[in-house]
Structure 1
Amino acid sequence: MDVLSSLEHRPYLLPAGQWRMAQRWNDLLFAHWPIAVEAMARLLPAGLEVDRFDGRAWVGVVPFWMDQVRTRAVGERCVTVPSAGKFCELNLRTYARSQVTGLRGVYFFSLDAASAMAVMGARTLFHLPYFLADMRRKTAQDGTIEYRSRRLLTGRSVRFEASYRGLGEVARPSAGGTLEHFLTERYCLFTPHGGRVLVGHIHHLPWPLERAEAEIRVNELPAAHGIALPNHAPVLHFARELNVYIWSLREDRSENTQAGSYNE
């Protein structure tokens, strides 16, 4: 299926212009916890407000690995990035709404990656809070993924260790108004830069979500960014792979107002 021609699931139109990067994301665990809206609101930059489901904010930890990284470096030409083309990544994220356009997207507190080139490139081109990390991933015969991450060069311990796997039974695309749709079907990200909020648009097919099981043994990411997790098990989802296209950042302006809707 041609990903770029499949648009009916999007909450708003594709952005103008050509995509800047393409990636494939693999073996993703979505682990989410509800957080009080007031606690999350204090952590967002001006111009963004908490996007909520059932009256609560949500924070997610998402380990995965990526490959098939390509960039449109000059004009129409696409270039594969071999030295940063396959590496682990670990995200700490929440969900926010633009006070300017109403767009709903992902706000990242941190993105740990095992590629120095990816960290430098993302900080430079996309102004995202990437951190270099020592990361290890191993898949057992039964599909269980052993995943470890330790942030480097920051002077403090920020570690993550978990075992997880998908349980099969890929469902139909999640329906609007459901929690899984709210947590995963996002088609832009926000990042602050120079006193402004920038938006980066992305495109992919609907997430092929599976039920998941996980044992999270160490999770120091939320505390490192001022987030206290509730004392109960997270909501879990798993996806085996997804091809993603990413556009260059632009100022968050009213050119994209077809923001779609999520259950609140």
Structure 2
Amino acid sequence: MLGLAPLPISPLLPDAVPLSARLALRERPSGAPLLRQQWSELLFMHWPVPAELLQAHLPPRLRADTHQGQAWIGIVPFEMSKVRTRFTPPVKGTDTFLELNVRTYVHLDGVPGVWFFSLDATSPLAVLVARTFFHLPYLRATMRLDQPSAELRQFAATRTHGGAPSATFRATWKLGAQLPPAEPGSLDFFLTERYCLYASNKSQTKLYQGRVAHGPWPLRAAQVLHFESDLLEGHGLPTPAGKPLVHAGGPVQVELWPMQQV
């Protein structure tokens, strides 16, 4: 279980990305997307982390993105559905699965995005495709999402990927009221409105950038009733202190473009 003491704000990296650059990424990229899918039943769990701690775990060209000088790390379980390429309709049996990611926020020369430490998924096909064509650290896992009531959600995951560090995750949360759209410049906007992702090869000698398009997140308040995880520790990251900042999100319709080396 996580502790309750707050972390100090790190003074290392000032905010390096102007709001105009964040807003510009909300514009849908030109050309046809490679993938379309729906994300739903998300739980955003975020903790403040010293920027210098995260920086040590990033590829050399990426810089930790900060909000008012503070970096953040997140754990996000959710359901992915209606997965299809631009060439094919959804294929029953492969178009819906559960995912759990560990993420932080970075920028490359002022272009903000998401850096994933890991992405666990229940679909072996999705893991293979993402690792091969998107250079993302997807891992196989067993997961379960239960809905005991209209407001309660329970999510459980156990990593099964051979050769990867073992990891488990358990969370129960209660959904609250619908929230207004995240205000540009706010912390909620910083943590949830992300339209670019980064990945690298294993040696971190090559860096890739991909674009994502979707409408503003439909966010709800949420209360975590139970949580246990060793996901962060498996990446050599210390267990963050303090209760997480929590949002529930979705559903959103998402489009993804191919990764490009940068």
Judge same fold: TM > 0.5, yes or no. Answer: yes
Identity of aligned residues (%): 37
* Superposed counterparts of 1:40-79, under 5 Å: 40-72=54-86, 77-79=87-89
Contact in 2 for aligned 1:210/1:239 (Cα 8 Å): yes
* Superposed counterparts of 1:160-199, under 5 Å: 160-171=169-180, 173-193=181-201, 195-199=205-209
Distance 1:130 1:44 in 2: 17
Relative to the length of structure 1, the TM-score reads 0.85
Task: Report SS of the residue matched to 1:67.
Answer: strand
Q: CA RMSD in A?
A: 1.6
* Superposed counterparts of 1:168-247, under 5 Å: 168-171=177-180, 173-193=181-201, 195-247=205-257
Deviation per residue, 1:221-251 (Å, 9 max, x gap): 1110111133210000001311110000112
* Superposed counterparts of 1:101-116, under 5 Å: 102-116=110-124
Gaps of 5+ in 1: 1-8, 253-264
The total of aligned residue pairs comes to 237
Q: Which amino acid aligns with 2:104?
A: T
**Residue 20 of structure 1: aligned partner:** 34
Contact in 2 for aligned 1:83/1:117 (Cα 8 Å): no
Contact in 2 for aligned 1:119/1:132 (Cα 8 Å): yes
From the superposition, tell whether residues 241 and 48 of structure 1 become closer, same or farther in structure 2 (CA, over 3 Å). same
Distance 1:111 1:38 in 2: 23
1:156, distance to aligned residue in structure 2 (A): 4.2
Relative to the length of structure 2, the TM-score reads 0.86
Task: Report SS of the residue matched to 1:19.
Answer: coil
Distance 2:58 2:165 in 1: 23
Contact in 1 for aligned 2:213/2:255 (Cα 8 Å): yes
Distance 1:169 1:79 in 2: 32
Distance 2:101 2:107 in 1: 19
Distance 1:10 1:24 in 2: 22
1:57, distance to aligned residue in structure 2 (A): 1.1
* Superposed counterparts of 1:125-136, under 5 Å: 125-136=133-144
Contact in 2 for aligned 1:165/1:238 (Cα 8 Å): no
Deviation per residue, 1:7-38 (Å, 9 max, x gap): xx952343332100011011100000000011
Task: Report SS of the residue matched to 1:16.
Answer: coil
Contact in 1 for aligned 2:140/2:159 (Cα 8 Å): yes
Gaps of 5+ in 2: 1-21
Distance 2:64 2:165 in 1: 28
Deviation per residue, 1:61-108 (Å, 9 max, x gap): 000011111112xxxx33323332111100100000003xx2100000
Q: Which amino acid aligns with 2:166?
A: S
Contact in 2 for aligned 1:35/1:229 (Cα 8 Å): no
